[in-house]
Amino acid sequence: MSTLLEQIESPADVKRLSVEQLKELAGQLRQFIIETVSRTGGHLGSSLGAVELTLALHYVFDFSADKLLWDVGHQCYAHKIVTGRKAGFDKLRQADGPSGFPNPAESEYDQFAVGHAGTSIATAIGMALGADIKKTDEKIVAFVGDASIVNGTNFEALNNLGLVKRQLLIVLNDNSMAIDATVGSLAKYFSKIRLSHTYEDMRKTTKNILEHMPIIGKSMEEAIEKIKKTIRMTLPGSQLFESMNIPYFGPVDGHDIESLIQLFEAVCELDHPAILHAYTKKGKGFEPAEQDRSRLHSTGPFEVNGDAMESVSAVKGRNFTDVFGEAIVELAAKDQSIVAITSAMCDGTGLNGFRERFGERFFDVGIAEGAAVDIAAGLAKEGLKPVVCIYSTFLQRSFDQIFQEVALQNLGVVFCLDRAGLVGADGPTHHGLMDIGFLRMMPNVVLVAPATETEVKGALEFALGANKCVCIRYPKDIVGAKDSESKACRKPFVLGKSVVVRKSADSQIVVVSYGAVLGEAIKAAEVLAGEGIEAEVVNARFAVPVDKKVVAAALAGRCIITVEDHWAACGFGSAVQEAVLAAGGKAGKLRMKNLAMGAEFVKPASRAQQLMQAGVNADNIVRTVKELISE
């Protein structure tokens, strides 16, 4: 590591540097980020692209008083490093290191712990309104990418920007490439501007802005009017924002740190909201990341080999995403009515193969989960079989659309919820711990969780044949080794029917597992068997409807231990308990125990660590069974 970066302990140290030194620091930051992420994995491309913008912001603003709000937040590594978190960076996204997203618990320089897109502008508006009421004068900056600005909540916020009658700067970090290929008209529009815009044009725009910026004796509005006019003559970039009455500056070069400092100094004094549009290059400074921007959006550990890189992924075996990706291609080859929809997560949800083979039946709507679900509803209405692939946590954005446009209409939309359950390193914003609860309240919705590789395909086949809304959840994890699959898991899915994976009809103990945690239940049963305790293991498959056999077992007085990868509140075990108590008005002795996440946010760590801490693992199943028996 080089000297300049070593000297940076806080943003105050950034402010002391010359422009030339800042350029040098930018290079050092990039190297540091590449080296770190090569060991830890993380969001590489976005953070590399935002280095100069980050330094210029910290140079001009004082974010111990001013407020910097990140959208999504995965582009904040440089920010984390210059705000005192450099030392722990080799443990990025690990249990005892800094998280991969902004986190106020780590630093006063972070405002909101985020990870979902679309929040920066509205929260910034809230803070600006708050400052106005309190009559404080901290400056507020929202930092948002081109992939996030098209999210509905950001648009709602832009439409309400007029509420703010004071300074509020939106920095639009336009790397013209979102998580996946950026989609939508606005992206095309941005990209059209970008293509027609040379480096020279950007210099000219910067110069125009700086020349016309208000100085003493010149009215602010007059200045903006002049700048707008000048810019409008050179390019049509301001059209959208102008129609929303938002003063727009740009596009400017997001890697020209000297100009950025001047620009921020100029616009930070405005007494109303404004947007500065900067072009950056995703993955800037790291050849492989520049070339394969989608792959290196989020990466596991890798080895840098000159300008190339090699993955050193330690993960053994195929994961649920891969298995799903193959299953949908296989089924879609036989059924022309299958269509797939995703929201900027084609790669992450395993749809690359589907897109390649069935491009005309594939739709990526960008970070727009609400629209994704509604488009799926329209497709189902026309008789097609839409499969909506969205991470569990992001599907929370579509809650109301699933309720009204799918469940209420009783439409056959299939939801494939990748990253359901604990996700490991991404932490609390990314765990999918609420899907069972928010979906099982809706009439007409069936909930399924496959436990094994065979079951992923089985569940999908069932869902596509059900002509109902079926939601399939599976975690970010490898699927159990094939030979651990009992014959039971190879049976076709039948609505509301569980399968017994380890039979022990005489045993008073029934472990009922929902989804991929089945492996832990089997392991526990084996351990118990070794100690002479027989337990039946049931693979529930369905959370809605709950299998009547499970209810009957509970009412018969057998001990039911439910196991799941979801918050205990409203989860699978809760559904079983509801069903048992509803059936058992005349209830006798009930012995039920639910193993699930407690009511606390779960910090970054490995998924295995997180499951262990929550007690959703074989050890704790064994412990629980013994406790129940000893009563």
Positions marked active-site = 282, 369, 397
- 199 contributes a contact to its own copies by CB under 8 A: no
- For 41-119, where are the alpha helices, taking DSSP H only? 45-49, 51-60, 77-80
Tell the smallest beta-carbon distance from residue 232 to its own copies (Å): 12
Ranges within 451-480 binding its own copies (CB under 8 A): none
Tell the smallest beta-carbon distance from residue 403 to its own copies (Å): 6
Q: Which stretch binds its own copies (CB under 8 A): 34-42, 45-53, 200-208, 572-580?
A: 572-580
On whether the CB atoms of residues 476 and 320 are closer than 8 A, the answer is: yes
Beta-carbon contacts of 233 under 8 Å, excluding residues fewer than 6 positions away, are: none
Q: How far apart are CA 324 and CA 609, in angstroms?
A: 25
Ranges within 245-304 binding its own copies (CB under 8 A): 245-246
Tell the smallest beta-carbon distance from residue 340 to its own copies (Å): 12
Tell the smallest beta-carbon distance from residue 8 to its own copies (Å): 27
Q: How far apart are CA 24 and CA 5, in angstroms?
A: 9
Q: How far apart are CA 233 and CA 533, in angstroms?
A: 81
b/e per residue 33-72 (b: at least 16 CB within 10 A): bbebbbebbbbbbbbbbbbbbbbbbbbbbebeebbbbbbb
- 613 contributes a contact to its own copies by CB under 8 A: no
Nearer to its own copies among residue 271 and residue 627 (C-beta): 627
On whether the CB atoms of residues 116 and 39 are closer than 8 A, the answer is: no
Beta-carbon contacts of 211 under 8 Å, excluding residues fewer than 6 positions away, are: none
> Where are any strands of DSSP class E within 88-230?
140-145, 168-174
For residue 358, what is the DSSP state? -
- 331 contributes a contact to its own copies by CB under 8 A: no
Structure tokens at 88: 């722990």
Nearer to its own copies among residue 107 and residue 429 (C-beta): 429
Q: How far apart are CA 273 and CA 127, in angstroms?
A: 13
- 122 contributes a contact to its own copies by CB under 8 A: yes
- 334 contributes a contact to its own copies by CB under 8 A: no
Which of 57, 260, 270, 368: binder of its own copies (CB under 8 A)?
A: 368
Ranges within 385-404 binding its own copies (CB under 8 A): 386, 394, 396-397, 399-401, 403-404
- Binding track, positions 416-435, relative to its own copies; x by CB under 8 A: ------------xx---xx-
- 505 contributes a contact to its own copies by CB under 8 A: no
- Binding track, positions 529-568, relative to its own copies; x by CB under 8 A: --------------------------------------xx
On whether the CB atoms of residues 595 and 546 are closer than 8 A, the answer is: no
Tell the smallest beta-carbon distance from residue 627 to its own copies (Å): 7
Structure tokens at 561: 């231990």
Nearer to its own copies among residue 250 and residue 480 (C-beta): 250
Tell the smallest beta-carbon distance from residue 625 to its own copies (Å): 11
SS3 (DSSP) at 74: coil
Ranges within 140-169 binding its own copies (CB under 8 A): 150-153, 155-163
- 583 contributes a contact to its own copies by CB under 8 A: no
Tell the smallest beta-carbon distance from residue 117 to its own copies (Å): 10
Nearer to its own copies among residue 433 and residue 459 (C-beta): 433
Residue 273 preceded by cis peptide, ω within 30? no
Ranges within 170-189 binding its own copies (CB under 8 A): 183-186, 188-189
Which of 26, 33, 128, 289: binder of its own copies (CB under 8 A)?
A: 128
User: Please, how many CA atoms are within 13 Å of residue 495, restricted to the half-sphere of its CB?
Assistant: 12
The C-alpha angle with vertex 378 and arms to 373 and 382, in degrees rounded to 5, equals: 140
Ranges within 235-254 binding its own copies (CB under 8 A): 239-240, 242-246
- 230 contributes a contact to its own copies by CB under 8 A: no
Tell the smallest beta-carbon distance from residue 460 to its own copies (Å): 20
Q: Bridge-partner residues for 170, per DSSP?
A: 142, 275
- 129 contributes a contact to its own copies by CB under 8 A: yes
Which of 79, 85, 212, 440: binder of its own copies (CB under 8 A)?
A: 440
As a whole number of Å, the CA-based R_g of the chain is 27
> Where are any strands of DSSP class E within 254-403?
273-279, 302-305, 308-311, 338-342, 362-364, 385-391
- 225 contributes a contact to its own copies by CB under 8 A: no
- 333 contributes a contact to its own copies by CB under 8 A: no
- 631 contributes a contact to its own copies by CB under 8 A: yes
On whether the CB atoms of residues 440 and 543 are closer than 8 A, the answer is: yes
Tell the smallest beta-carbon distance from residue 146 to its own copies (Å): 12
Number of residues this chain uses to bind its own copies (CB under 8 A) = 116
Amino acid identity of residue 306, one-letter, is: G
Q: How far apart are CA 599 and CA 605, in angstroms?
A: 17
Structure tokens at 497: 């029917």
Ranges within 54-113 binding its own copies (CB under 8 A): 104, 111-113
Which of 223, 274, 449, 570: binder of its own copies (CB under 8 A)?
A: 570
